Amino acid sequence: MSARRRRLGVTALAVLAPVLVWLVADPLLGHRLRITDGERTLGIGAAPAAVVALLASLSGWGLLAALERSGVRRARAIWTGLAGAVLAVSFLPLLGDGMDGGTRLALALMHVAVAAVLIPGLGGRSPGAGTGAGFSPSCPQPAERAAGRGQPRSWPRPSVAGRSSLIRASRGSMRWCPPGCLRRCTRSPTRAPP
């Protein structure tokens, strides 16, 4: 599955998550989600919850894509930290007046549900990365291997536009991966073809 398809699926699930919380809180348990601001009362329905979750999902996806494309080292780790900070800040409005405890709890659960889908779904590792499952389709096996066992004889230079790049796999050894490959190669150490 491509990264784009996976992230699109994660976005769809993140939109569905607060709607499921709303379905349990409002129609099932019978607690109307309302926020009162002086004389005005704002009812929170499934559509506004889904729209806010969609905006949060697309913003998160866009930020992650921008970090990855700009070549920032550890883009996913940085994004995960930012996503956690945004989640923490999203609870601040729940501390204010104008809503009862049930509404406050339902909204907090909506925030947590969206984060529980988005953070591991968008910021998590690529499928098969570091699992020993072999090369992914976008990361073909190099034609030439170093002596078969042990460390390779030579490594290509670190990533420069259009050249091969080294990737540190989860076990701490270096792996060769062709340019444009976004996933980690997980087989035995290899060297670049001549």
How far does the chain reach from its first CA to its final CA, in angstroms? 30
Extract the tokens encoding 34.
């309302």
Whole-model pTM: value is 0.63
Q: Report the alpha-carbon distance of residue 156 to residue 173 in Å, rounded.
A: 14
How many whole angstroms separate alpha carbon 92 and alpha carbon 144? 56
| 12 φ/ψ sector (left φ>0, alpha ψ -120 to 50, else beta) | alpha
Please give the chain's pLDDT, 194 residues, in tens. Answer: 788 899 999 999 999 999 999 999 988 888 889 998 888 988 899 999 999 999 999 999 999 999 999 988 899 999 999 999 999 999 999 998 889 999 999 999 999 999 999 999 988 765 444 433 333 344 444 443 444 444 444 444 444 444 444 444 444 444 555 555 555 554 444 555 55
